[in-house]
Each structure stands twice: as C-alpha cells, then as structure tokens.
Amino acid sequence: MDAVQEAFGMMAEETLDPSDWADVQVLSHRVIDDAVAYLSEVRDRPVWREMPADVREFFATPLPRSPASLAAVYGEVSRTVMSYPMGNIHPRFWAWYMGSSNFTGALGDFLAAVQGSNLGGGNHAAGLMDGQVVNWCKQMLGLPASAGGTLVSGGSMANIIGLTVARNTKAGIDVREHGVAAIEKPLRFYGSDQTHSCHRKAMEALGLGNRALRRIPTDASLRIDIAALRAAIAEDRAAGFKPACVIGNAGTVNTGAIDDLRTLAKLAHEEDLWFHVDGCIGALIAIAPRNAYRVAGIEWADSVALDPHKWLHAPFEAGCALVRDAVAHRKTFAVTPEYLESTPRGLASGEWLHDYGLQTTRGFRALKVWMALKEHGVDKFGRLIDQNIAQAGYLAGLIEAEPLLQLVVPPTINIVCFRYQPGLAGEALKALNTEIMLRLQEQGIAALSDTTVHGEHCLRVAINNHRTRREDLDLLMRETVRLGREITAASPTSS
C-alpha cells in the first residue's frame, strides 16, 4: 500500500462482479438448462405440494456474513424455492386468477435485469420500449393513440392510477394542493357488488373512504343492474353528494361477468361521470376474435386497468393503466423536483416516466411483454384467450353431464363455478367441497379455489392458462367425483 492509500485508510477495492467470469458462465448455462427442463417437464410434477419442515426451516437461516460459492447458493435455491412453487405455471392450476408465465418472458426479465436500466426516466432505449408497449395496449383495446398510459406492477395499481385521475378530474378543486378535505361535495364512485377488493383499497388510499364506493346490486348473470345504478346516482345527487365515477367490470373475479360496457359508457356521459373499466381479467378479450364482442364499449372508457401478467402470461409483475386524456393523466402525477430536471440533450432529455404514476424508480417491465408479443404475434394471444373460454364451456358441459356435479353459474368467459352435490345442503355441503378442493391440492392433482356466488358456496376454476388441455379438465372431473365419493363414504354423517 502506498502512503496516500494508507493515509486515507483505503482498503483493496472490491466489486460484486465475479473474479472469474468463465466459472459464472458455466454455472449460468446450467441454470438455463435446468430452467428449460423445469418448464418442459412441468406437467409431470404435482401442481403443488406442502413443504417439509426442513424446507420451511431453511427460510429462517440468519443473515449470511461469509461468502459462499454461487454454485452452492444456486444449489440451495434449487432444493428449496424452485422445488416448492405456487404452481401457477402448471397446466392444472386454475385457482384465483393468475397467468401462467412463459419462457420468452422469463428471458426478457433476465435481460432487463442484466441491463439494469431504471425506467423512472431518461433518454435510453428501454424507456422508448416501455412507451411502445403502452401504445400496443391502447391498440389492442381500441383506445386512441393520443391516450396516456403507464406500465405498473399489476391490476391493483393500474386501478389506483385510473381512479386517482378520476378523483382529481372530478373533484372540482385542486386535490393535489388542498387535499380531499377541501372537496366541497363528497365524491361518490359506483361499481357492482362484484367489484374486486382492490377498489376498496384504492378508495381508502385516495382518502375518499370505503363508503364513497357504492356497491350496486347485480342481475341474475352478475352484471351491474343499470336501473339500480341510475337510481343510486339520482339519490346521491339529491342528498348533496357529487357522483364522480362509475367502474365497469370487464370480467369479474368471482364469475367472469362482464358489465354492459356500452350502456355504462353512455350513462357516464349523460351523468357527467368518469368511466373507468376494471379490465384486469377481460380487457384483453378485445384481441380474441370469437369473443371480442363481449367487451365492446371498452374503447369508450376514460381509463382502463389491464393486466398483461394475466392473459398475456407475462411473468409477474406487469399491469397497465390507460387514460384517454393524457394531459389529465400527467397532471395527476407529474412533479419536477430540482434534482430531476430535464436537459435539452443527453441522458436527461427523455420523457420522465415517473410523471405517470406513483413510483420514481421503475423496472423494465416492457421487455418481457414485448418479446413474447413479437415472438408469437398478438393474434396467437387472442386465440389463446378464445381457447380458454372454449375450455370453460367444455368443462361446464362435463359438469352438466355428471349427476353428482352441479354448475352453480353458467360461465360467460373462462371461470366455472360448480360443486360436488350428493344431496347435501348448507355447511355440510361447503365442508365437503372444501375438503375436495384441499385434497386436489394436497395430492398435487389440480389447484382450484372457492368462492360464494348468489349465497352459494362453490369451487371455482379460472382457466387462464396456455398449458391447459381438455384432457386436464377430464381428469379434474374424474378426480373430483372420486374424492367426493371417497370423502362421503368415509363420513358417517353424510349420504
């Protein structure tokens, strides 16, 4: 060490880069080989399995202080995390509402991380690609090219973006400056009683409160009751509230019901309301040739939330908010602090993408979506959506043909609600179906979830999966009946 280094207490310099890239290269090839096998053999593994105690305990190991070889680290990841997945990439995963990812998207995420760019802003290629993917989303839904938009973490955040612009536009005051307490007439938002729970969180986060979102009853097919909506708006106006926004559902999470978006758009126009569409499930049906008619009217929305990590199967996370009035969108979020001013040329001359949402640093979400769209073309994604909807129809047919099974709601799109019904009622029927669901999971056969529709508990199959085949649905039916029989035979109290 020379005298200067010594004087400043300088230590030998370090980096996170490997000392030997060749070693890392060999290991990386192995990671890729394993990843390809992981996906190509996914069908042969259980959908899900419970973790043994030693795997659970692994996640309580303390903060590592000393180094380990990358090979050893990867070995641990492989034994633990990779071996006990949620299962949503499996062909028989139909719980809640997930996408099933894709390898090209995973490569996109890898490359995005290798480049490591921050999409908060700046003049670089990733920022342009981010804008391009937003433009493609507008095109897919039929929104004008002049609309604004942003990629976000998912549908919940996309809904928050849309509802925030709605609030600020309809508040009648400068909410950003004065806050919601300064709003003269309390704002009211409307959505059906099937509206996703993220809207409640949005209302709370927006400072309007849960009660500012009126849940409007639904008709027999679980679509918003338009007459009830009109009545609620009139009642609120008379009571001194300011009706501000109607949320249309393009695919509800319980059953996939799609509100009459055209009528809602007209009603919003007549009543001077913001028209937001929660299209996390169904907005992308707009690209599906056989079913696009179901979401007609979505192109008239003031804002739309959609979820590329659902029906475009982008690896998590990727949501998108679109706002017809790009100026209103920017006005809701743009702030230019002194440390983020743009310059006429150079790195800081690009668009500041953080002006369209709440995040400052933003990851490069566009690449995984872009690469998969380029590779397959948008038409194939449209056909895959049609395929899932047709599979749900097929499953409904199987259910109707089996006397021990009951279709609780006929599917509109890709969500099927049914139950095993050997002649029970109430809690006993619910307990039986819950047990079937749990055994399907624990035996690694299939992952379903459950819900309650029209007051009836049911098992719920949401087929948002490009790997599902009709034979998987045949198997689900056989196994459901087998388990139902097995459980009822073992239980002295049931028939």
Ligand X SMILES: *Cc1c(COP(=O)(O)O)cnc(C)c1O
- Calculate the CA dihedral of residues 88, 94, 95, 99 and round it to 10 degrees: 50
Nearer to ligand X, 108 or 155 (CB): 155
How does strand 242-249 pair with strand 274-279?
A: parallel
**If you ran DSSP here, which 8-state letter would residue 312 be given?**
T
Strand order from edge to edge, sheet including 274-279: 148-152, 319-323, 303-306, 274-279, 242-249, 187-192, 213-216
Of 7-15, 132-140, 148-156, 260-268, the window that binds ligand X (rule: CB under 6 A) is: 148-156
Verify binding: residue 278, ligand X, rule CB under 6 A.
Answer: yes
Nearer to ligand X, 281 or 367 (CB): 281
d(CA 287, CA 290): 9
b/e code 319-336 from CB counts within 10 Å (16+ = b): bbbbbbbbebbbbbbeee
Measured from the CB of residue 297, what is the shortest distance to ligand X in angstroms? 17
232, 216 Cβ separation under 8 angstroms:
yes
Measured from the CB of residue 49, what is the shortest distance to ligand X in angstroms? 24
Amino acid 413 reads I
Verify binding: residue 155, ligand X, rule CB under 6 A.
Answer: yes
Of 55-63, 151-159, 209-217, 325-333, the window that binds ligand X (rule: CB under 6 A) is: 151-159
Measured from the CB of residue 436, what is the shortest distance to ligand X in angstroms? 24
Nearer to ligand X, 112 or 314 (CB): 314
Measured from the CB of residue 250, what is the shortest distance to ligand X in angstroms? 8
- Please list every residue from 309 through 338 that binds ligand X, using CB under 6 A: 319
b/e code 170-193 from CB counts within 10 Å (16+ = b): bbeeebeeeebeebeebbbbbbbe
How many residues are present in the chain? Answer: 495
Nearer to ligand X, 298 or 483 (CB): 298
Verify binding: residue 253, ligand X, rule CB under 6 A.
Answer: yes
Q: Write the interaction track for ligand X spanning residues 336-375; mark x where CB under 6 A is met and - where it is not.
A: ----------------------------------------
- For the chain, the 3-state helix, strand and coil shares in percent, each to the nearest 5, are 50, 15, 40
Measured from the CB of residue 382, what is the shortest distance to ligand X in angstroms? 19
Measured from the CB of residue 210, what is the shortest distance to ligand X in angstroms? 16
Measured from the CB of residue 281, what is the shortest distance to ligand X in angstroms? 4
Measured from the CB of residue 111, what is the shortest distance to ligand X in angstroms? 23
Nearer to ligand X, 236 or 307 (CB): 307
Among 126, 280, 353, 396, binds ligand X (CB under 6 A): 280
Nearer to ligand X, 131 or 155 (CB): 155
Nearer to ligand X, 254 or 480 (CB): 254
Measured from the CB of residue 159, what is the shortest distance to ligand X in angstroms? 6
Measured from the CB of residue 55, what is the shortest distance to ligand X in angstroms? 26
Least Cα distance to 188 among 161, 172, 205, 211 occurs for 211
Q: How many residues bind ligand X (CB under 6 A)?
A: 13
Token pair 């290269």 in the structure block, residue: 25
Nearer to ligand X, 152 or 171 (CB): 152
Nearer to ligand X, 48 or 97 (CB): 97
Of 72-80, 150-158, 161-169, 334-342, the window that binds ligand X (rule: CB under 6 A) is: 150-158
Contacts of 134 (CB under 8 A, 6+ apart): 149, 150, 151, 320, 322
Measured from the CB of residue 59, what is the shortest distance to ligand X in angstroms? 24
DSSP string, 431-479: HHHHHHHHHHHHTTS-B-EEEEETTEEEEEEE---TT--HHHHHHHHHH
Verify binding: residue 97, ligand X, rule CB under 6 A.
Answer: yes
C-alpha of 315 from chain center: 10
- Please list every residue from 176 through 205 that binds ligand X, using CB under 6 A: 196, 198
How does strand 319-323 pair with strand 148-152?
A: antiparallel
Of 117-125, 153-161, 178-186, 393-401, the window that binds ligand X (rule: CB under 6 A) is: 153-161
Nearer to ligand X, 168 or 464 (CB): 464
Q: Which residues are 450's β-sheet partners?
A: 459
DSSP string, 270-292: HHT-EEEEEETTTGGGGG-TTTG
Verify binding: residue 307, ligand X, rule CB under 6 A.
Answer: yes
Under DSSP, is residue 406 helix (H, G, I), strand (E, B) or coil?
strand
Among 281, 306, 312, 385, binds ligand X (CB under 6 A): 281
Which residues would be at the binding site for ligand X (CB under 6 A)? Answer: 97, 154-156, 196, 198, 251, 253, 278, 280-281, 307, 319
